[in-house]
A and B are shown apart, each in its own frame.
Chain A
């Protein structure tokens, strides 16, 4: 990290102070030029991995996430003979340098948290029905492995991972599996691909809002960058489904909220997610 000019030096010493002086000088714009409610430019790339069943790459400004969906055959558990398994893993490969040793454990914890959030959303919004992953009851089921590789983390991993998941699922093709009646072994026909059946009606998409306190009132920064996430008082995640029902609200502690603030954030989240859906359906 270069500390050439005065601005970089100020950022290194005290990020909060730098942000506050920037907001004092330029009214209503963040250091990267956006207004408070503006999101970064989104780029979507579909179906670009050769060996996965489904894949997508999403860029929110500088944040880059690759989602890849693969499957393995497995025996179902005795508790539920018809359900398959889903496993979501969020990884941050070493494409970015960690500044201090302590930060590495923090990053690993954040990734585990994000993996669990995504799994919860899949189950709660019934995006993928576990029964759909069944090949033959009691014998063979699919174990869906959904991996998220975050090539560059510039804030707002939650939104990008969820959008990447939606795009990847849309274009996932599974090979057909037939059970050989003589040997009871599964035969996988890799050339006969069929579209993966999932609940396309629900399209859970997330809006991350970082709450920053400036001049005794809360400013809501939508789609925060990494620096903004570090200085924020608290972070809100709103996950909305296609019919504007809420699937998940997660608010970390730091800024006490009353009911009308929740309403305000909900209206911001709705507009933002409407914009995301337009991008998704193009």
Chain B
């Protein structure tokens, strides 16, 4: 439950200084995690397999309920904007494909995600949310097929492709890519790429992102080891 800052390995450069994590900050929930990626901070909590409400039917699978709450104050209304709905739906497909749904028939899990701070654009917050979600599910000990990690990459007009961009670079960039990798074969589970680019740039972005995803998985391992010792 202590806040940990991972040690910087001599071989890998600055990525671990961009990532911070705190497991189980919310003690009442089944699983929760707070994750920081550069300037974005997210908290996620999960309430584990429990009873199903009568209206929903989930005969032989788990029912997943995700709510995403953006930082209040950016938009004037209290309700979820369509941008947040898009993020919610995308994350729901991630959870559905990761968790072994057949193990919990007629139950539901509730996941609530809070975006606490987002100074940069869309790529970092999306990646931060994905990673927070994975850490939360690991913290809650849900049976998963694989762990996943998201890497944000932006295309800066002068500096080219940057991974894990700083705020200033991201706000000046034209297109962004968010790739979600899975741990077993390092294949891409999900993508959201927006802007103006072609397949060559996409290929370059994927090849930049793959080693970074491995480092993020290493970070997960370190965090969970620290928790268990």
Interface residues of A (CB under 8 A from B): 100-102, 109-110, 112-113, 115-117, 119-120, 124-125, 233-234, 241, 244-254, 256-259, 262-263, 266
Query: Given the complex, which residues of A lie within 8 Å of B192, measured CB to CB?
Result: 249-251
With contacts A249-B191, A249-B192, A253-B93 known, what are 4 further pairs, Cβ within 8 A? A124-B175, A249-B202, A262-B199, A262-B202
Query: Given the complex, which residues of A lie within 8 Å of B189, measured CB to CB?
Result: 253-254, 256-257
Secondary structure at chain A's binding surface: helix, strand, loop or mixed?
mixed
- A256/B188 in contact, CB under 8 A: yes
Complex interface: stretch among B20-28, B29-37, B40-48, B80-88: B80-88
Closest to A125 in B: B196
- A109/B97 in contact, CB under 8 A: no
Q: Write out, one digit per residue, whether chain B residues 56-86 have a CB within 8 A of any chain A CB (1) or not (0).
A: 1100000000000000000000000011011
Closest to B98 in A: A253
Closest to A90 in B: B82
- A253/B94 in contact, CB under 8 A: yes
Closest Cβ–Cβ distance, residue A119 to chain B (whole Å): 7
- A113/B199 in contact, CB under 8 A: no
Query: Given the complex, which residues of B lie within 8 Å of A252, measured CB to CB?
Result: 90, 93, 190
- B190/A251 in contact, CB under 8 A: yes
- B55/A245 in contact, CB under 8 A: no
Alpha-carbon gap, A234 to B96, bound state (A):
11
**With A102-B56, A234-B97 given, is the CB distance from A109 to B85 under 8 Å?**
yes
Alpha-carbon gap, A247 to B195, bound state (A):
5
Alpha-carbon gap, A115 to B199, bound state (A):
26
Alpha-carbon gap, A119 to B202, bound state (A):
22
Alpha-carbon gap, A245 to B93, bound state (A):
27
28 pairs of residues in contact across A and B, judged by CB atoms under 8 Å: A102-B57, A109-B89, A112-B82, A112-B85, A112-B86, A113-B86, A116-B82, A116-B85, A124-B196, A233-B97, A234-B97, A246-B198, A246-B199, A246-B202, A247-B194, A247-B195, A247-B196, A249-B191, A249-B193, A250-B90, A252-B93, A253-B180, A253-B189, A254-B96, A254-B97, A258-B187, A262-B202, A262-B203
Interface residues of B (CB under 8 A from A): 55-57, 82-83, 85-86, 88-90, 93-94, 96-98, 175, 180, 182, 185, 187-199, 202-203, 206-207
- A266/B199 in contact, CB under 8 A: yes
Q: Which of A101, A110, A256 contacts B55 (CB 8 A)?
A: A101
- Those 4 A-B pairs whose CB atoms lie nearest each other, nearest first: A256-B187, A116-B82, A252-B93, A253-B190
Closest to B187 in A: A256
Query: Given the complex, which residues of A lie within 8 Å of B90, measured CB to CB?
Result: 250, 252-253
Query: Given the complex, which residues of B lie within 8 Å of A234, measured CB to CB?
Result: 93, 97, 190
Closest Cβ–Cβ distance, residue B206 to chain A (whole Å): 5
**With A110-B89, A234-B93 given, is the CB distance from A248 to B83 under 8 Å?**
no
- B93/A258 in contact, CB under 8 A: no
- A259/B206 in contact, CB under 8 A: yes
- A109/B88 in contact, CB under 8 A: yes
**With A109-B88, A256-B185 given, is the CB distance from A245 to B197 under 8 Å?**
yes
Closest to A123 in B: B194
- B191/A250 in contact, CB under 8 A: yes
Closest Cβ–Cβ distance, residue A32 to chain B (whole Å): 25
- A259/B203 in contact, CB under 8 A: yes
